[in-house]
Amino acid sequence: MGIQPVESGLLIARVAQDIFDYIVEQAIAHKLVDGMVLYTDSTHLKANANKGKYDLQMIEKSRADYWADLDRAIEAERALHDQKPLKQKDREPEVNETKVSRTDPDGGYMVRDGKPEELLLSRSPHGGR
């Protein structure tokens, strides 16, 4: 019988994930990394959707976690140098008009110079988005 194409793809993805996890575990074991933060590159895959069928929506892009981490780091650094804390800033989330696909809302529209507009999905080697 053999492995069906869909099963083969899932098997390859599982093996790739296992290899990636093993490499990260080895790097942690040898103290090359601490495993606290992991940065990876991602790739864009063409979405299985019609790029002409979308709705325009106002999407809020919150960076609250980033700002909170940055503020804590600044406060710690200022405390080390016996400096007064900075005044708290009100940070409003950025709101942009964004195309949202009706057939694949996880997809994102990418526009690049000299290339056609495409509806793509972003995928990381570790399985995240």
**Could you give the CA distance from residue 112 to residue 48 in angstroms, rounded to a whole number?**
20
122 backbone φψ class: left, alpha, beta (φ>0; ψ -120 to 50)? beta
pLDDT at 70 over 60: yes
Average pLDDT score over residue span 98-112: 79
Give pTM, 2 decimals.
Answer: 0.41
Is the model more confident about 101 or about 26?
26
Parse the chain into domains and list their residue ranges: 1-39
pLDDT at 1: 56
